[in-house]
Each structure stands twice: as structure tokens, then as C-alpha cells.
Structure 1
Amino acid sequence: MDSKKLAQKAISLLDLTNLNDDCDDAAIETLCAKAQSAYGNTAAVCVWPRFVSKAKNCLEGTGIKVATVVNFPAGGDDVWGTVAETKAAIADGADEIDLVIPYHSFMAGRRGFAETMIVRVKDVIPADRRLKTILETGELNDPELIKDAATVAIEAGADFIKTSTGKVAINATPQTAEIMLEAIAESGRPVGFKPAGGVRSLEDAATYLTIAEKYMGADWATSDTFRFGASGVLDALIAAMEGQDAKAGEGY
């Protein structure tokens, strides 16, 4: 695939993200405008729960999904608080919920607790909306633990498994992508994959799409099965479409 086709495909798979602490309504308006690029729309925007309604209004009629985060970024243990957060986001119009699993508890051996949170959150999400589970793989660190967390999330009903919050030192890596995509392939279930944090260039996008093709086949990666979570990479992708050489902006 030539660079322009690759860039256009990557744009269509992007969850354009603003989870900055200083985000405000003006920033959401800017984000939603950027999501409607001259080279096609992004798959979604990902915003704090308090901005879901604003983003839905900005994107009405575009087909761009609105994703939001729950139990984010700490991955705490409050199951019912996270369920309540999810219900509120769905009521505000969220199309996709990105849930941070209670990874501290998972690392402490409480596999069943993580499974319970995923199941409870999944139960309050309508069938036409998606649940993405964030494993925080940079904190799990151990390949066996990452594989186990991916398997638990898949078996508990996640529609996607996602690497990271973008808020820790180590986020998406090719090595982690291999582990998670292998878990999806082995499960035989229709679960998507989302590398998030540190995807900053066309070359990064190509790396993850190549890994997805290795495990899932050449035609697998669509917006229903594969997303990039990033804030800065869109600039680099647009530069590639325009035949320029540019690095992504700073951010998630």
C-alpha cells in the first residue's frame, strides 16, 4: 500500500482524542472540526464524559462516533461507581465506552474482580454501542499477564481490547500488539484491537496494521475491528496525504 492510501486508511481508523486536563468546550469544537478532515472523517472522537453531549451536537449527521472513558485513568475498584458513570455517558449519547479495567487488582491476582467489572459495565451498554476495555499494558508489563488480561476481557464480553490510557510511562508497543492480537485470534471471537498512546507517525500506523494483518488477515482492519487512539497523529497523516514529511504533534 502506498503512503497516501495508508494515510487515508489510518485516518478512517482514528479515535481522535482530547483527554487533556485543561480541555474545554472550545477544545471540543476544535477536535470535532479536525475529525472531519479533507481526506475523510476519523472513526470517532474520544473525550471526557462531561463533553459527550457537546461532541454529539458538534458531530450530528457526520457518522463520527463519540467515545468516552470510565474508571479513567486510575483503573480503580469502584464497580458500581463505574457502572453509574457508564450509564450517565450512555444517556448523554456516547456511542463507545472505553473502560479502564481495575488493573492494580488484576496485578494482585484478583482476576475475577476485573471480570466482574467488565461484565457489569457491559450489561448497561445497549447492543448498538461498543465497550472497549483498556488493559494498561505498560503497567501490567509482563507478557503472560497481558495475555491473561486480554483473555479475561474478551471472555467477559469486550467489543475491543485497548492497550493504554496514554497517561502512563509506557503505552502502546508493537510487542504488546502481538500479544493482544494473538489473544483475539485464539479466541475466535469478533473482538477489535486499539493501540493507544505513542502512535505519532505514518510509520507507527503501518507497524500496527502490519501486525494486525499477520494475525487477523489482510482485510480485517476496519473501523469496526481496529482503531488508533491518538491526538497528534492526524497532522502527520494529513501531511502524508499532501506529500509532506511531518511529525505528529505532542499528545496522547
Structure 2
Amino acid sequence: MDDIRQYLDSTYLKTAAQAGLTDAQNREVVRHVVTEAIEENFKLVMVRPDMVAMACEMVRQAGSPLYVGTVIDFPEGSGGLEAKRAEAAQAIKDGADELDFVVDYTAYKAGNLSKVEEEVGQCTRLALQRGRVIKWIIEVAALTAEEIKGLCGLVRGAVTANADVTDYGSVFIKSSTGFYQADGGKPNGATPESIKIMMECAAPLPVKAAGGVRSYDEAMAMINLGVKRIGTSSAKAIANGRPATEGY
């Protein structure tokens, strides 16, 4: 296989408050994560929207091929279409290469399918028209197996109705935010079971596994299931075969 580093989206999405840091300290953590991603030759670094411009400038100065990605309507996905569009437009302006939107999975679970379809369709068109890669986070830990199947199918249908066949490879379905609070100690991110369902139901769209992938063996298991990207805060540990110390 190719170098595992080219599957890894090195991810840091904590706010300063979540990390127990000052804004300045948290910005320094992001700078470290971006520097590490450049040095390790990862596929992409994933940061919060307010860190995108800084990350892009660091990548530019380094002359690195590293992509910069960010999250949109994160982590709950319930902000509505206009909020998603506005946040995406700003991220594109700031230089983001890839946009990971959170699907309004709460609306989906409530049966408001038209709302979800419209958001996925319109935001997919917006991002593709600007030459960006899009990923739709469905939050598998909030869904039953049947809901994972149904939401993958809805996203797939909305994307294929609003994109050319040649663009399908640029629109992923992604498992998780990594920030969902699952009940009873259950996994809050990708599991082999959820990824198997996604692989069956997402095609022809590629799949990204995120949340809970913390070792080389876990990452390889996901790759062997067919995922094209892995989002993790343990990218360096995974790439070098060491135990992970981070939780996402």
C-alpha cells in the first residue's frame, strides 16, 4: 500500500476552553500540530475555522504539499443552511482546501429529510464549484445501524443529484466528529461495524473514518475495510507505530 501518512488527516479541533488553555496557548498548540504535519508529510491538517488562515500561511511558507482542512457547523450540525454556507465561504476565503460539514443528524433522526437533503445538496455544489473537497460527517455514535444506512443513502443521493460523476471522489462520507458524548462508555467514533455499513451504503462516494482510531493496527484495519482517509489526533503515533496519547 501507499505510505500510511497519505491516509492521515492530522486533527486538532479543541477550543482553548476545551483544552484548558488560553487562546494564545491554544494557538501555539495548533502551530505545533501544523508544523508536525508538514514534517511528517501527512495528507492534511484539520483545524478549527479560526485557525485556517494561520495554518495556510505556515504551509505556504514551508512550501509544503500539505492540505489544510476545517470543520463546518461543528460539532452538532444544527446551525442551518445559511450558517453552513457562510462558514464555508469564509473558510474558502481563508484558504481551506477541504471542508468537513456536519450533517444535521438530529433533523434526520426527527424525520426532516428534506432539510438535510437541501443542506447537503447546496453545500456540496458550493464547495465543488470552488474546487474544494467536501466531507459529510454523519455522527455514527448518534445513529442506529439502520439510521447509518439511511443517512448514508440520503447523503449519497443528494450528492449524486448535485455533482458530476467526475466529482464523486471529492465528496466523502465521514463517520464522526470525535466530540459526541456517547452513553454508557460506548464508542463515540468510528468502529469496524459502523465503517462496514458505511462502505456498503456510501458507494460510489469515498469514506473517511474519524474518531477512535488511535493505533497503527486500528488505522490499517480501517484502510483494509476500504476507507480513503482517517481523521485522528494521534497521526504521528500511528505513522510511527507508537501508542497514542491523544483521545480523538
Same fold? TM cut 0.5: yes
Match of 2:246 among 239, 244, 250: 250
| Secondary structure, aligned partner of 1:36 | helix
CA drift of 1:36 comes to 2.4
Match of 2:4 among 7, 10, 13: 10
The residue aligned with 1:73 is 75
CA distance in 1, matches of 2:235, 2:53: 25
Is residue 184 from structure 1 mapped to residue 202 from structure 2 by the alignment? yes
For residues 195-210 of structure 1, the aligned pairs below 5 Å read: 195-210=209-224
CA distance in 2, matches of 1:26, 1:43: 21
Percent identical: 32
Contact 1:35 1:44 in 2 (8 A): yes
CA drift of 1:184 comes to 2.8
Match of 2:135 among 132, 137, 143: 132
Letter in 2 for 1:132: K
| Secondary structure, aligned partner of 1:35 | helix
For residues 10-49 of structure 1, the aligned pairs below 5 Å read: 10-22=4-16, 24-37=26-39, 40-49=40-49
CA drift of 1:237 comes to 2.2
Contact 1:199 1:233 in 2 (8 A): no
| Secondary structure, aligned partner of 2:221 | helix
TM-superposition CA deviations, 1:114-148 (whole Å, max 9, x none): 111111212221352111000001001x1111011
TM-superposition CA deviations, 1:211-231 (whole Å, max 9, x none): 11xxxxxxxx6xxxx110001
| Secondary structure, aligned partner of 1:172 | coil
The residue aligned with 2:164 is none
Contact 2:9 2:235 in 1 (8 A): no
Superposed CA RMSD in Å reads 1.7
Structure 2 portions without partners, runs of 5+? 17-22, 160-167, 183-187
CA drift of 1:153 comes to 1.2
Contact 1:45 1:64 in 2 (8 A): yes
Structure 1 portions without partners, runs of 5+? 1-5, 213-220, 241-245
Letter in 1 for 2:53: S
The residue aligned with 1:217 is none
Name the stretch that deviates more: 19-28 or 42-51. 19-28
The residue aligned with 1:167 is 179
Paired residues in the alignment total: 221
CA distance in 2, matches of 1:143, 1:204: 21
More helix by share: 2
CA drift of 1:25 comes to 2.5
TM-superposition CA deviations, 1:20-66 (whole Å, max 9, x none): 112733122111111123xx511101110011110101111211111
For residues 121-160 of structure 1, the aligned pairs below 5 Å read: 121-125=123-127, 126-140=129-143, 142-157=144-159, 159-160=171-172
Contact 1:71 1:100 in 2 (8 A): yes
Contact 1:164 1:171 in 2 (8 A): yes
CA distance in 2, matches of 1:234, 1:41: 10
CA drift of 1:251 comes to 2.6
Contact 1:164 1:172 in 2 (8 A): yes
| Secondary structure, aligned partner of 1:121 | helix
Structure 1 moving runs of 4+ over 4 Å:
none
